[in-house]
Amino acid sequence: MSAPTEQARGRYEIGVQSFTYREFDVPAIRDELSNTGVSAVELCDVHVRPDADTAAIDRVRDTLADAGLGVCGYGVVSFEDESAAQIRETFELVDRLGGDYCSLEFPPEDAAIRDRLLSVAAEFDLDLAIHNHGPDATYATVDDVASVLDAADDPRLGACVDTGHFFRSGEEPSEVISRLGDRVLALHLKDFVDEETEAVAGTGQLDVAALLDLLDAETAFDRPLVIEYEADGENPTPAVEQTVTTVRDAME
């Protein structure tokens, strides 16, 4: 593994998955994040749904922009069939919000869904990032994710690496990142002490500095590191601020 350059180490923006703020509306999220150092939000359907009208979608995007917050992506969306209407409606939403990717899952063996997703995503110039969800999930291990990526030679389809859920499945970032390489298209910073106990990123099993080294050495990843913290839905900002400090320290 080659040593990261200072330029590479310092390139990452910091984002938040809006599910972290599931007890807050969008204006409250804007206010909570305004002085945290976070610059991006990955939105979920708690805060804006694909069937929302365009005016409502624009309000969400513009409300976040008022605090200098861009929308980096949307998810996690579960696609169970190849409904062109559902896929198009979802990707139109992501595009209107200004996102670059949709984190998602779909039946691993269903090539028809995969191909439909990729076809519509190409129209909107979006990437698709398969999200792992830990033990007993459809995508529990890195092999579960990689087997689908290996069958689809399309760089638009990759992985949303959730570090916490991989820990829950007994897998270390070193094996996950090296296995996925340039197919890492999104990343959720999450940490667990054990399979059931979530921790603020960097205080459990996750070594944030080592993770950044892996990203720099093994991938071309250049999107925000998205904090997702679910342990305190009513007051997540202290955990977000602590994680921002940890990431900034790791980038020095």
Task: Give residue limits of the domains in the chain.
Answer: 6-240
> From CA 230, how far away is CA 236, in angstroms rounded?
8
146 with 177: CB under 8 angstroms?
no
Question: Taking 50 as the threshold, does the pLDDT of residue 4 lie above it?
Answer: no
- pLDDT category at 226 given cuts 50, 70, 90 is very high
> From CA 61, how far away is CA 44, in angstroms rounded?
13
- pLDDT category at 1 given cuts 50, 70, 90 is very low
What mean pLDDT is reported for the chain?
A: 95
Topology given in CATH for the domain delimited by 6-240: TIM Barrel (3.20.20)
Question: Taking 60 as the threshold, does the pLDDT of residue 2 lie above it?
Answer: no
The phi, psi pair for 131, rounded to 5°, reads -100, 130
Query: How many C-alpha atoms does 100 have within 13 Å on its Cβ side?
Result: 14
pTM for the whole structure: 0.94
Task: Decide: residue 246, CB within 10 A, 0-12 exposed, 13-18 middle, 19+ buried.
Answer: buried
pLDDT tens by residue, 75-121? 999 999 777 889 999 999 999 999 999 999 999 999 999 999 999 99
Task: Decide: residue 54, CB within 10 A, 0-12 exposed, 13-18 middle, 19+ buried.
Answer: exposed
The pLDDT assigned to 10 comes to 55
